[in-house]
Each structure stands twice: as C-alpha cells, then as structure tokens.
Structure 1
Amino acid sequence: MQIISASRRTDIPAFYGEWFMNRIREGYFIFKNPYNAKQMSKVSLRPEDVTAIVFWTKNPGPFLKYLDELKERGYRFYFQYTVNGYGPEMEPKLPSLEKRIETFKKLSEKIGKEKVIWRYDPVIFSNVHDSDFHREKFSYILNELKDFTTRVVISFVDEYRKATINFKKLKEEGIEIYQPPEVIIKSFAYFMAQKAKKVGLEIQSCAENIAYLPAAGIMPGKCIDADYIEKIFSLNLPERLHLKDKSQRQECGCVVSKDVGIYDTCLHGCKYCYAGSYEAGKKNYEKHDPTSPLLIGKYEVEESQLTLF
C-alpha cells in the first residue's frame, strides 16, 4: 500500500477532477518522469493498494461532486486546502475569498472537519502585504473557519527559481516582495499561534527551519502525515509508511508518497507560484485528455516498458 499525493505539483481537484476519477475507476495512472520523458511508471490506484489520498487545492469546488463516489469505492482521503487573502493582484484566477471560505465549509460538513486542513501559506511580505495585512486576514479567515477544521498549517515564502522570476514581474507591477526583520516574523508567529490556540486549533509549520517557531507554539508539521492518517482513519500503518520522503527538502517532514501531478499544469496563475507559470499551464492543458492514463498527453507505450508500483 502507498499514500497518494494529489498533488503538490498542480491543483487536481480544481482542474483535473474528471481525469482523476477516470483513473480511480480504471485503477491506475501513468506517471512520466519529468527529467526523462522515456521513463514511465504505472501506479496502482486500486483501493486495496491505496492507504490514503492527500488532496492539495485552492479550489476544491469542482471536485465536491465526486466525493461520495470516492467514499463508496472505499478510499480514505483528506484535504490540504489553502485559503489566504492576497486578492487578484497575487491570485488572479481564484474565486473570491468569500467563495473559497464557503466551499471550505461545505467540504468540511461533507467529510468532517478533521479531514480538511487549512493552509495559510505562503506568508509573503511586500509593500502591499505587510504585517498588519496578514494579522487582519489571518484573524478574519480563522474566525470563519475555526469550527470547520482542527489544524492550520503556515509557511513563509521560499524563493524558488520560478517564484523568483515571478517576483521580478511583480516588482514591475508595483508589488515588491521583501524579507522583513526577524522581529516582525517572530511577532507574527506568536500572533498566529496565540490566535489558533484561543479557538482550539492546532498550528503547525510546513518545511520551515526557523528556530523560534516551536517556542512560539508552532511545531514542525507533516502535510503528508502517517500518524495523522492513523488517527483520523483508525489505522495501524507499517513502519515503512512512517519514513520521511527523502526526495523532499530536508526541512519537509512529509512521509513517502506517490504524486500524481505534473509541474506547469496549474491554471490558477498565482504570482508567487513555484510549480510553474500560468502560460505554461495553459499550453499543457491543451494537451490534457481526461481519458488518458497520463495527466498530459496521449499514452502510446507498451506496458512491458513500464516500471510498476
């Protein structure tokens, strides 16, 4: 058995739900190595081979219609749902904040609040989004979601290569990203921790090595978390499913999983994205076939050439 990640690299629930459900019904998907197009893997999605599915999304609305079928087929799953409030200048293709909060509540009511984790990330400081901005947005969203989740995950922006390119474009548009003094970050970390604690939410960090976060009450988290899966689904998983995923950053605590996604396929167009550009996403989406075992493109490889998982 293995954990399926859907997906760090793109928003499956928002844009590729039909494809994912076709893969669920057929019991497998084909993954193409992004660094070697000739290397493909066939990955089982049969219920007996899937420990749990972790969905990552900023807009699961289009996917809600499939949740009953997933449950009926015997799949266990939970959501990492990002809700922040940057607005169209940073997240031009997302529904309004109010709509995303409404969808969060619907999802929570449908599958249970312990299965919908709120992500307030990445935390970005700019000349438009200062500490006061984040305190206001975090407080507002927390107040709206406090009865619909049990955990909030935070992280501070990392300047991946693709994100750095986007930051330069933002600067041309009048939004300048900056690294605030440590005292500002530290103060905001304590603020978030105290706010979350007051309403009974657990707060964790994602892939951070900031020494003072635990002192503030924000412990290192695991977004793909075998212990959490055991807890919410009453399972006892083998030790191998508790091992850290060595393919992720050193600071990342996630356990091993198989990701179904591909970079440069998301259509949200977020200006801080590390997983690709909106322009590349549009081009790749034109190659998307919901009936193909591949997320992008046609499948024309003999099964004997595949690596099986």
Structure 2
Amino acid sequence: MIISASRRTDIPARYHRWLLNRLKAGWALVQNPMNPKQITQVDLSYEAVDGLVLWTKNPLPMLGGLRELEPYPYYFQFTLTPYGRDIEPGLPDKGELIEGFIRLSEEIGRERVIWRYDPILLAPGYDWDFHLRAFERLAEKLSAHTEKCIFSFLDNYRCMAKAARELGVQYPSEDRQRGMSRELMEIAVSYGLKLETCAEPLNLAEYGIGRARCIDHLLLSKISGWPIKAGKAASQRPECGCAQSVDIGMYSSCMNRCLYCYANHSGRLLSESARLHDPQGPMLINRGFRA
C-alpha cells in the first residue's frame, strides 16, 4: 500500500507533527470525503506501507524531522510556482522556498524531490511571457537539485469560479497549450530537466513531454531497493498515470489558501480546521468524530 500525504491538503507544511505521530502509532483514521460518516482505520505500520508520497508547497517546517520518516521509502512532490501572495497568500517568500527546495534535495537526494510548476494560471500580471521568464529562472536554480518538472494548465474548477472571475483568468486553447508546452520543453532541455504533464488530456509526446505518474511505484521501488507492485489508480481522471494509493488528508483544511486550489471547498470548514486539529489525535481534523 502506498500512502499519499496528501493531495487534499499540505501535510508537510501544516500537519507534519500529526503525520509523524501517526506513523509512530502505526495507524490513522481517515474520513471518506464523499461520505463523512464513513471512517476508515488505515494501517500505517512499516509492514503495511510500501512507501509515502509527500505533497507540499512548503516543506520548511518538516526539514528538521525527516529522520523520523525512516525507514519508510518516501519522496516529495514539491510545488514551486512564481505567484505572489495575491494568488498564494499563505506561503513564505519564494526565495525561502527555493532555499528549502535545495536543502531538501541535499538531504534526501535530487531524485526524491520532484518539482511541480503547477498549475499554469494565465491572468493580468501573469501572462505567458511572465511564465516563460519565471520558469527559466526557477529551472536555473533548481535543475541541479531535481531530475524532473511536472506541469499542468489550470482547470476550471467550480470551487474557484469566483476567484477566476476576479483575477481575470484566461483558459488557453489546445493549440495555444501545445505552443506553450513546446516552449517550456525547450527551456527544460537546456537545463537537463525531464518534463512531464499531470493529468493533461493533450498528448505532447511529439515534443518529448511524457505523462507523469505522480504516485510512482517504480520510483518507490528504486528508493526502497525492492519491487513494489501497484495497479493504476481507479478513482483518478483517465489521463492520470498515478499508481493506486490511500490518501490520509482531508479537504478544506489547507492553510496555504491558494486561490486556484481544488481542495478547499468550504470557507467555514477551512476556518474550523486549526481549532479542530489535534497533533496527537487519530484523525487529521476531528469534525464530529468521537473515539
């Protein structure tokens, strides 16, 4: 079993102590996002877990505790974009995050830190020329500390419709996306980076751009030193290449508060999360569960 921590919230940035406590305990309780009354106990023992995939935009709070993740095989999906606090209000300065990326890579190895330039949001102040310049600046700084970059174009999620209108978000055509992808690939190649897309319907193989497997059992096999078998994730979009995993996060709990986020569905639940979170508790956010 592969554990995803988490597509639903930024556990390394906000809830890393809870994660480390649950790994030590060997289990966690996870609420079904489609049926909140359904609570599942997930076995987090070393014998049950093939590996961990840690999703974050800010690993800085966790850097001092990485040794506690051993002996689990793990790697990071690290989203590092050029947006300001008008788009990503809960994140530290990007210079600090770049330094954090480098520190993380130096500590665990560049193959275990995957850079995500994700999503590409086009709006006034964030046009395509801005992205080309920003992507190249980041590629120059990060290429010695990672092996690949995964990108995607912003999807039109219902939960961000109001923010999209206020920002003046533009959704490029497929032809425009192809042209943009080709330009990104040219930059990536110049810095020795592999480039892949995350769950994009476009086939960009003609430019040398593959489809990502963000939950990657083959990478975890390489890290662990033994073969890990995992089928394709059945609950994800058809274009998603991820292996099957169990996500232990919760929606509407990410304090990064990125305006484009698909995972924060309720402002009320988000505001409750800090109050209801107990680092010693069995569930990430205790919304009515009674032990």
What TM-score do the two structures reach when normalised by structure 1?
0.90
Q: Tell me the secondary structure at the aligned position of residue 37 of structure 2.
A: coil
Task: Check conservation: 2:233, 2:241, Cα contact below 8 A.
Answer: yes
Report the number of matched residues: 289
State the match for 2:290 in structure 1.
Answer: 300
Confirm or deny that 1:75 pairs with 2:72.
yes
**Residues 178-257 of structure 1: pairs in structure 2 closer than 5 A:** 178-211=170-203, 213-238=204-229, 241=230, 243-257=231-245
State yes or no: 1:127 paired with 2:124: yes
Cα deviation, residue 217, structure 1? 1.6
> What residue in structure 2 maps to residue 28 of structure 1?
27
- Matches of 2:270 and 2:261, distance apart in 1: 12
| Off by >3 Å, runs of 4+ in structure 1 | 181-184, 277-280
Answer whether contact 1:208 1:251 (CA < 8 A) is retained: yes
Q: Secondary structure of 1:30's partner?
A: strand
The answer to which of 2-11 and 219-228 deviates more is 219-228
SS in 2 for 1:127: coil
Q: Using the TM superposition, give the Cα deviation of residue 38 of structure 1 relative to its aligned residue in structure 2, in angstroms.
A: 2.5
Per the TM alignment, residue 35 of structure 1 is displaced from its structure 2 partner at its CA by: 2.5
Q: 1:278 to 1:89 in 2, by over 3 A?
A: farther
**Inter-partner Cα distance in structure 1 for 2:25 and 2:221:** 27
- Alpha carbons of structure 1 residues 278 and 11: separation in structure 2 relative to 1, 3 Å: farther
Find the counterpart in structure 2 of residue 306 from structure 1: none
Alignment of 1:1-309 (within 5 A): 2-71=1-70, 74-168=71-165, 171=166, 175-211=167-203, 213-238=204-229, 241=230, 243-276=231-264, 279=267, 280-297=269-286, 299-301=289-291
Once the two structures are superposed, what CA deviation does each residue of 1:5-28 show, in whole Å capped at 9, x if it has no partner? 000000000000111111011000
Percentage identity across paired residues of the two chains:
40
The offset of 1:129, in angstroms, is 1.0
Q: Deviations over 1:85-112 (max 9, x none)?
A: 0111111111111111000000000100
- Per-residue CA deviation, residues 68-92 of structure 1 (Å, 9 max, x unaligned), is 1212xx1110000000101111111
- Asked whether the 8 Å contact 1:266–1:278 carries over to 2, the reply is no
1:267/1:278 contact within 8 Å kept? no
Calculate the aligned-residue CA RMSD, in Å: 1.5
**Gap runs ≥5 in structure 1:** 302-309
Provide Cα deviations, 1:254-287, integer angstroms capped at 9, x if missing partner: 1100001000000011111110158332222211
The 8 Å contact of residues 56 and 77 in structure 2, kept in 1 or not, is answered as yes
CA distance in 1, matches of 2:257, 2:290: 30
Contact 1:19 1:290 in 2 (8 A): yes
Please give the alpha-carbon distance, in whole angstroms, between the structure 1 residues aligned to 2:37 and 2:265: 24
| C-alpha distance in 1 between matches for 2:183 and 2:85 | 26
Find the aligned partners of 1:258 and 1:233 in 2 and give their Cα distance. Answer: 19
Aligned to 1:140, the other structure's residue is in SS state helix
Q: Does the 8 Å CA contact 2:174/2:202 hold for their aligned counterparts?
A: no
Query: How far 1:205 sits from its partner (Å)?
Result: 0.5
**Partner Cα distance (2:266, 2:159) in 1:** 11
